[in-house]
Structure 1
Amino acid sequence: MQEVKNPKKPMIFYYLIVLLVILSLNFIVLPIFTEHQVKEVDYSKFMQMINKKEIGSVNIESNQIIFTDKDETHIYKTGVIEDPQLVDRLYDSGAKFSSEIIKETSPFTNLLVGFILPMVIFVGLGQLMAKRLNSKMGGGMGAMQFGMGKSNAKVYVKSTSGIKFSDVAGEDEAKEILSELVDYLHTPGKYREIGASMPKGALLVGPPGTGKTLLAKAVAGEANVPFFSISGSEFVEMFVGMGAAKVRDLFKQANEKAPCIVFIDEIDAIGKKRGGQVGGNDEREQTLNQLLTEMDGFDGSKGVVILAATNQPDSLDPALLRPGRFDRRVPVELPDLQGRIDILKVHAKKMKVGDNVDYNAVARAAAGASGAELANIVNEAALRAVRDNRKFITQADLEESVEVVIAGYQKKNRVLSNKEKLIVSYHEIGHALVAAKQTESAPVHKITIIPRTSGALGYTMQVEEGEHFLMTKDELLNKIATLTGGRAAEELIFHQITTGASNDIEQATKLAKAMITRYGMNEEFDMVAMETVTNQYLGGDTSMSCSLETQTEIDKKVRETVKEQHAKALQILEDNSAKLHELAKYLYEHETITGEEFMNILEAHDEPLPESTTDEF
């Protein structure tokens, strides 16, 4: 949708005008009204004029000599030098001695130049600035506040080429809910006929990058009405009351352009819960109070719809969420498998893509990705195709771009030593082999020992065959065993451990703790929640809600769980040591193997290997 911009000069423009006026007073106006100008010369010039008898009047003071030319049209001054015969020479040259060479300006001139003229100029300039600000801000306090009470909402006018629901994929439920708002803006009569009133507001809730702002623009595009967009942080001002003034101005503009849509992004910046805590933000609370008042006061029948977006719904004030203000809460979650496929196709429409691209395979590899990340994946694939001098995107480009988003770019300048490369090979094959030898474990998709910019020296990618929404206890335990497989391989083959398992340890511990504290998968604690999750859309921070004694017992259970799965992984690798050596050697030589290659080697008929050590690699 096309944004409407009102041209306006910045405040620095008016400050420059004031500066120019002051400079003109000092360097142009004042010299015109001044009745004299004194020019400073050196003493030799003074002596030359005496010798040529060009001195008219002279006044000798203790620290300077002031004199005029013969016509007394110019006034000069110079320093004093010890000269006992100076007076005689001046007398002989015909100079007249006078103490009133410099005449004071008249009191009227002083009053005119020093007070009246500056006042007239500044009053006139103030009137000009007030008119300009009034014309842009609607007059009143807006002109006095130099725009601090003016909302900075971006206005998008009606546009047939704007964003539509067809441009938003993967959020079918959200589009279905919001389409009713569009229908009301188009045909309000059929709703009024039955007595229904339009919802005043809808709150879009979801993780970052899922398309909340895009959905809001799509609603405006489908309804073909003006769209006001502003961020919650733009209401926050240094002076108390300015944020409330911006809210009033925003709703005033919206009522004038009704029917329209007002979108407030990141509304949690001003909509957080109020309370009597010490150090509260009076400005933010006043802004929130004004927003609540405006939402209650405006006439919904005019067709003004308020949309807001946040990824911290738990922090919002209950008064803001009640029916009559935000009547609907629209979840905008991470897309499922089909949603990811649709999003990839939407973004691929703008690109030149090969005919053999399998969007299903790419979407499965990008499990858990948001719409913004999927758009980035397609763009990265296009950039890779250009780097390789190709005219279209291939399947390999998309698969590599998934890895770039997940693990970063390949670090081509980082060369591992042979020993480190061998350790990483066994570590990654340890993960893959433990995963493959367990039931109900995701298939191995790719194994690589090429370092990435994320800091990973290698990784094993597992991809589910289909969409997975629930995980059983056995699946979680298998996942912990898979995470410990890398360290287990190091212990089994090299009889020592490295720092390479730090991320594995962190994930295994976190998963084991969640099984006990949140999922109720421990017989001793049963179905008792020991941990609460906050900010579920921003990383899911957790906090314990049990006694210190219980926390100690939980820590013990977590250690036992991880230790059991670690022993299980060790046993699997011992039972399949021949395949461990064979696969590690293959990975060491090729650096990257696909899941298909991995399974072919694993399922091949076992041949007796010659007795060897890892040094032979």
Structure 2
Amino acid sequence: MQGNNKKKKKGYITMIIYFLIVFMFIGTAHYVREAATTKEISYDQFYEMIDQNKISKVVITGDNLIITPSDNSEYKGKTLYTANIKDENLISKLNNANPKIIFTGKNPKQSPIMDFVLSWILPMLFFFLMWKFLFSRMGSGGMGSGGGIMGIGKSNAKVYVENEIGVTFDDVAGQEEAKESLKEVIDFLNCPKRYTEIGAKLPKGALLVGPPGTGKTLIAKAVAGEAKVPFFSLSGSSFVEMFVGVGASRVRELFKEAVAKAPCIIFIDEIDAIGKSRDNQMQSNDEREQTLNQLLSEMDGFDSSKGIVILGATNRPEILDKALLRPGRFDRRVIVDRPDYKGREAILRVHAKNVNLGEDVDLDEIAKGTPGAVGADLANIINESALRAVRNRRKFVLQEDLRDAVEVIIAGKEKKDRILSPKEKKLVAFHEVGHALVAALLEGSDPVHKITIVPRTMGALGYTMQLPEEEKYLISKEDLMNQITVLLGGRSAEEEVFNVVSTGASNDIERATQSARSMVSVYGMTDRFDMMALESMQNRYLDGRAVRNCSEETSTILDEESLKIIKEAHGRARKILRENRDLLDKIANILLEKETLFGNEFMEMVYEKYPEIKEKKEKELKEKELKEKEFKDRQKKKQEEFDRIRKENEEKEKSQFLKTVGINIDKEVSDSTESEKELAQELLEETNELKDN
């Protein structure tokens, strides 16, 4: 605070000095101008000029006569003045002049100093005060800080000292691989000597890459919190201004501050704002390119042994300049991807640790029901559930609050003021049951979790929620065909029951078309194009937009192949519903009464007609439980054997040490150690097998 006051005081002193210099310059200029354009003459000379017709105008003031010479005078262009001696004959002489001389009177002139103040100083002071007011408003720190026009080239990074960060790896869940990759950075900042002694150099920069909301900024803060070093945080867009050269100046200032506070971490969020590739000449930007060049220069210039680590974050790594990613700069890439089921559960527990939870809360169920959700989504779910509990005047969160929060995130809140007509409500009910019934009767489809015809604020008049039983990292051609068939089940139900089509299936059709096109152009799942890539994926971590890499003729064939897949799926959906029209009518009528059906209620009605499906599900469940039990028993036996061998090994080592200090462990102990290693390897393989299953 004291330093800021000194800077502010210094800024005001500098400002006053500038003001005095300008004041002296204007005063001198005014004096020189007056001397060059005015001249004093005697009263006799004035009379001679009247007689010689060399005066065009005379202004009579209290003390002086101000004379404007005529064009034939040697004083043409100047202003002459002489003393006013109160001559009684002056007026008649001016009247009798030929040609006649214009003369006027004027109030006594104020002092030259006052005239100078009013003419120059006051206007200048007014504009100066206006200038100071405007620029103090534009800048955040006034004249002497990094903000405002006077500090436009200074770094505007937020600096967090060790005790202000307040984030460690305990606050980061679901990103174990990313944390493991960055532990080396923390170790280097804490114990640099261990690395410098052996001659190792830590990468100067690490790039955090992943979709929005996965916790890239949080991880960067946690690294600084674990290392207990200062943390410089700023956005890539904060470097670039309308003035060329400002960004480069801010980069220099940032690294200058970082060197002064080393060891430290510099975090640049959305680094693609300044690190965009320079290959595209159509989108060149001098200011951005100068900023990037300065960043590259600074990264090459500083010594990594000083303990300065640069972390960048982006969700568009494909557009970054290659020079930024080469060894010696951002040469380490850390993927911060969407968390898996276990990761989601861990994230939910982190965000729920300060929330009062009821006894019925099962975060495992919520984690299973939110595939694809990122950390920000899960934090929002916990917060929404807490808000719902407060609205219902409860002091703790129930499982129903969490379930409702998931639906709010997916489809929005219930729209209670939207009342559907009986005809529309019936159409929506059959549409949603069409989705659910096709999903239930297609082998390999995700189980139905919930069916509802309650309108939501995001535009859905109803929806069918399916939840996978396990995480899937690969999708087969059959699975994709099933997904498309389920998507078209709603429209197919409308056609089978009402023989009409409505706009309610627009989103289903869009998603089905996208999946069918990807099967043809990206995944190579058709005989026509075999394994030929016709589209490339861009912005993988954002919208995943596909760009076609084929001719117009090929593009036409691609559309034909996509249409063939959609028609096949449409036919399958209509066939399933046609063969199960009785079940479709029964479930839809119950849904019209209840408005919401849960998965177990829905499946009980399906099992009544198809008991073999229930038997198969129960058999699969028993096999899975038996497999898990056998695995746990094997793990338990292996662990017991492992503990026994380790205990024997410790006893033998202790005995051997007592007998012969400094002598190598005998062969028997070594054999036990080998057995221990073999058993540990078997345990690891068993664990991997469970993960695969």
Partner in structure 2 of residue 397 of structure 1: 401
2:495 and 2:525 mapped to 1: Cα distance? 29
What's the TM-score, normalizing by structure 1? 0.79
Matched, 1:582 2:586: yes
Partner in structure 1 of residue 602 of structure 2: 598
What is the CA-CA distance between 1:490 and the residue it aligns to? 0.8
3-state DSSP of counterpart to 1:146: helix
Matched, 1:268 2:272: yes
1:163-220 CA-to-partner distances (Å, cap 9, x unmatched) read 0001010100000011110111001111112111121110000000000000000011
1:59-89 CA-to-partner distances (Å, cap 9, x unmatched) read xxxxxxx9xxxxxxxxxxxxxxxxxxxxxxx
What is the CA-CA distance between 1:108 and the residue it aligns to? 4.9
Matched, 1:527 2:540: no
1:479 alignment partner AA: Q
What's the TM-score, normalizing by structure 2? 0.70
What is the CA-CA distance between 1:121 and the residue it aligns to? 11
2:129 and 2:348 mapped to 1: Cα distance? 61
Q: How does 1:73-112 map to 2 (within 5 A)?
A: 102-111=107-116
Matched, 1:549 2:546: no
- Which of residues 459, 464, 474 is equivalent to 2:463? 459
- Which of residues 352, 355, 371 is equivalent to 1:351? 355
The alpha-carbon distance between structure 1 residues 434 and 458, as it changes in their structure 2 partners (threshold 3 A), is same
- Which of residues 189, 195, 205 is equivalent to 2:199? 195
Given that residues 4 and 154 in structure 1 are in contact (C-alpha distance below 8 angstroms), is that contact kept between their aligned partners in structure 2? no
3-state DSSP of counterpart to 1:379: helix
2:508 and 2:121 mapped to 1: Cα distance? 80
What is the CA-CA distance between 1:246 and the residue it aligns to? 0.5
What is the CA-CA distance between 1:593 and the residue it aligns to? 0.5
1:450 and 1:8 mapped to 2: Cα distance? 64
2:280 and 2:164 mapped to 1: Cα distance? 49
1:496 and 1:480 mapped to 2: Cα distance? 20
Q: How does 1:423-442 map to 2 (within 5 A)?
A: 423-442=427-446
Matched, 1:250 2:254: yes
- Which of residues 259, 278, 281 is equivalent to 2:263? 259
Partner in structure 1 of residue 308 of structure 2: 304
1:463-507 CA-to-partner distances (Å, cap 9, x unmatched) read 011111111111111111111111111111111111111111111
The alpha-carbon distance between structure 1 residues 118 and 501, as it changes in their structure 2 partners (threshold 3 A), is closer
What is the CA-CA distance between 1:602 and the residue it aligns to? 1.3
Q: How does 1:159-558 map to 2 (within 5 A)?
A: 159=163, 162-275=166-279, 277-278=281-282, 280-558=284-562
Partner in structure 2 of residue 34 of structure 1: none
The alpha-carbon distance between structure 1 residues 411 and 116, as it changes in their structure 2 partners (threshold 3 A), is closer
Give the CA RMSD over aligned residues. Answer: 3.3
1:103 and 1:481 mapped to 2: Cα distance? 100
Given that residues 143 and 150 in structure 2 are in contact (C-alpha distance below 8 angstroms), is that contact kept between their aligned partners in structure 1? no
What is the CA-CA distance between 1:360 and the residue it aligns to? 1.7
1:125-173 CA-to-partner distances (Å, cap 9, x unmatched) read 999x99x978646xxxx99x51110111000011177100010101000
What is the CA-CA distance between 1:275 and the residue it aligns to? 3.2
The alpha-carbon distance between structure 1 residues 363 and 103, as it changes in their structure 2 partners (threshold 3 A), is same
1:544 and 1:411 mapped to 2: Cα distance? 40
2:592 and 2:126 mapped to 1: Cα distance? 83
What is the CA-CA distance between 1:418 and the residue it aligns to? 0.8
1:103 alignment partner AA: P
The alpha-carbon distance between structure 1 residues 133 and 465, as it changes in their structure 2 partners (threshold 3 A), is closer
1:512 alignment partner AA: A
Consecutive unaligned residues of structure 1, counting only runs of 5 or more, are: 26-65, 67-98, 608-617
3-state DSSP of counterpart to 1:330: strand
3-state DSSP of counterpart to 1:504: helix
1:519 alignment partner AA: Y
1:570 and 1:123 mapped to 2: Cα distance? 79
2:508 and 2:6 mapped to 1: Cα distance? 56
1:106 alignment partner AA: S
1:483 and 1:112 mapped to 2: Cα distance? 82
1:559 and 1:278 mapped to 2: Cα distance? 37
1:306 alignment partner AA: I
What is the CA-CA distance between 1:102 and the residue it aligns to? 3.3
2:577 and 2:2 mapped to 1: Cα distance? 66
What is the CA-CA distance between 1:578 and the residue it aligns to? 1.1
1:354-405 CA-to-partner distances (Å, cap 9, x unmatched) read 1221212111211101100110011001111111111111111111111110
Q: Point out the more displaced range, 350-359 or 503-512.
A: 350-359
3-state DSSP of counterpart to 2:573: helix
1:409 alignment partner AA: K
What is the CA-CA distance between 1:349 and the residue it aligns to? 0.4
1:303 and 1:310 mapped to 2: Cα distance? 23
2:2 and 2:605 mapped to 1: Cα distance? 63
2:3 and 2:590 mapped to 1: Cα distance? 62
1:177 alignment partner AA: S
2:243 and 2:396 mapped to 1: Cα distance? 54
2:411 alignment partner AA: A
1:295 and 1:256 mapped to 2: Cα distance? 16
3-state DSSP of counterpart to 2:505: helix
3-state DSSP of counterpart to 1:424: helix
Given that residues 4 and 157 in structure 1 are in contact (C-alpha distance below 8 angstroms), is that contact kept between their aligned partners in structure 2? no
1:419 and 1:428 mapped to 2: Cα distance? 15
2:534 and 2:261 mapped to 1: Cα distance? 52
2:254 alignment partner AA: L
2:397 and 2:444 mapped to 1: Cα distance? 34
Given that residues 358 and 397 in structure 2 are in contact (C-alpha distance below 8 angstroms), is that contact kept between their aligned partners in structure 1? yes
Partner in structure 2 of residue 52 of structure 1: none
The alpha-carbon distance between structure 1 residues 536 and 4, as it changes in their structure 2 partners (threshold 3 A), is farther
What is the CA-CA distance between 1:5 and the residue it aligns to? 11
What is the CA-CA distance between 1:249 and the residue it aligns to? 0.4
1:115 and 1:506 mapped to 2: Cα distance? 71
What is the CA-CA distance between 1:431 and the residue it aligns to? 0.4
Query: Equivalent pairs: percent with the same residue?
Result: 56
What is the CA-CA distance between 1:239 and the residue it aligns to? 0.7
What is the CA-CA distance between 1:101 and the residue it aligns to? 8.6
1:388 and 1:193 mapped to 2: Cα distance? 62
Q: Which has the higher helix share?
A: 2
